[in-house]
Amino acid sequence: MKFHNTLTKSKELFEPINPGKVGMYTCGPTVYDFAHIGNLRSFVFSDTLRRVLERAGYEVRHIKNITDVGHMTADDVAQGDSGEDKIAKKALSEHKTPEEIARFYEERFREDETVMNILPAHYFPRATAHIPHMIKTIEALIESGHAYEKNGNVFFDVTSFEPYGTLSGNTLEKLKVGARLEEHPDKRNPWDFALWLKAPAGHLMHWASPWSEGYPGWHIECSSMSQEYLGDSFDIHTGGEDNIFPHHEAEIAQSECSTGKPFVRYWLHSRHILVDGAKMSKSKGNFYRLADVLERGFTPMDLRLSFLAAHYRSQMNFTWESLEQARKNKESIFKAYARIGSAAIAETGFSAAPFLERFIAACEDDLNTPLGLAILQELVREVNTRLDAGESLRADVRSGFETIFSVFGLAVEASASVPTDILALAEAREVARSAKDFTEADRLRDEVSTRGYTIEDTPTGARVAHC
């Protein structure tokens, strides 16, 4: 199994720190608004990666943080040292508390992930619950000379970490020459980044610390949460390409300087999504969320399949035409799968084994999902040809489809003949199961049953059928 490592700029054989086990951290959402399709592509990518690892037999411990402090709107300019707190800004505009805003959008994010058939992370740590750990880490950085305090603000001294810039290519030499970074009066160097900031008067989110009543920098949050759940060193860190600099670069520097150990072995990043060839923008009218896709009559699996049709390291161009093509592909795949149920099964019939072997090889080669999809479509055509000719199939054909569905995260959608109110009950049950509210999930299953329908939980998702 090989993955492209952003740190080394090369495709590498995957070898975890502990044989058979994988520690994996995904940069999660900043919960001040609904997730957009670009966010969802990144999370489908990390979900697919996890599914490939688990199919290969690895025990994956997956952590996905919830940024509920709110990083800065000008992070890309000033490395987190200026700008408005996004959650606080939303709270003021809606006359709510920051916690109310964060919890609302966290729940919406979790619902979107459920609908997209994204496996829930094993832990969703919230930044606000890890302030003490952040303070402890900052204290260690100050004591070791890697950070400094002035006027209640604490900054990481980038010059103290020689490998800074290895991940992104933004070395100190390049930063000194051409970087456009906002000067902060308390910084020694304009490229230093904030670990702790003194809260100005009226700031909604602040905590006591040895330096000031303030709040953490964005970067220190992920270092603290990953260390808490995965240890000082772990295997895989994922995120969007926009996280590479300064966020992930800063994570490496502060983590390795605070622990004295290597931080992450493999860094995997998904590229941006374009919409009709342009960057998503509300002003351009091309800014879409999951709800916008569903309102157009498409399904979550249509969207998921459209993501899989592009390699995660390629810049995907989203169009409604490409989504329509994904829908057609999905329908042909599911129709072929449905035909298998009534096919004659024989020990000497057609086997899906060669196709499945090629599919797995593609997925284990840096998540080559476009090739995997092409192989699946080959299998669909071959199955249809064999069935049209009246040939029998081996039992492994059905299981082969289900393995592919499981790796791709494709949930077989309920029949259109099932009433919409029954489907709504089934969807509500899935949400309850995801939230571990099994009492409510059982109640909803019973209600569906009394209406004359059954819910079957399968490796590829829940199926609703008439009794």
Tens of pLDDT, residue by residue over 203-240, are 888 999 999 999 999 899 999 999 999 999 999 999 99
d(CA 25, CA 377): 32
Q: Give the angle 461-466-467 at the CA atoms, nearest 5°.
A: 110
Q: Would the pLDDT of 77 be above 50?
A: no
Pick the CATH number of 274-408 from 3.30.420.40, 1.10.760.10, 1.20.120.640, 1.10.10.350: 1.20.120.640
Cα 342 to Cα 329, 337, 338, 406, distances in angstroms: 21, 10, 8, 22
Higher per-residue pLDDT: 247 or 81: 247
Architecture of domain 2-270: 3-Layer(aba) Sandwich (3.40)
Token digits of residue 439:
């009492």
Give the whole-angstrom CA distance, residue 233 versus residue 377. 40
pLDDT at 6 over 70: yes
Q: Tell me the two tokens of residue 167.
A: 């991940």
- For 171-215, write each residue's pLDDT tens digit: 888 776 555 555 688 999 888 999 999 998 888 889 999 999 999
Q: Which sequence spans correspond to the domains of the chain?
A: 2-270, 274-408, 420-466
Q: Which residues pair with 289 in a beta bridge?
A: 36
Burial of residue 287, with CB atoms counted within 10 A of its CB: 0-12 exposed, 13-18 middle, 19 or more buried: middle
Kindly state the average pLDDT of the residues 308-326. 97
Q: Residue type at 362?
A: A
Helices (H), 85-212: 86-94, 98-115, 131-143, 172-178
Q: Give CA–CA dist 466/231, Å, rounded.
A: 49
Structure-block tokens of residue 426: 């089934």
- Distance (Å, whole) CA 156 – CA 153: 10
